[in-house]
Amino acid sequence: MNEDPRCCGSGTCIIDMEGRCWCGQQWDGEKMCSPALVNPPAATATPETKDKD
């Protein structure tokens, strides 16, 4: 098994093709680091519809 140079040194890194490790770190091109937090898009409020009689 080849050792991935992106491994943090623990020997337990499992890194996918996008550079994400199972532990949650992300390869930034130079080192493994915590990925930037991305806020989910805000839920769009819809106006309440009135029941038609």
**For the chain, which residues make up each domain, given as ranges?**
1-35
pLDDT in tens, 10-43: 778 888 888 888 888 888 888 888 877 777 666 6
Write down the pLDDT at residue 42. Answer: 67
pLDDT at 1: 45
Residue 35 CA to residue 20 CA, distance in Å, equals 9
45 Cα distance to chain centroid? 27
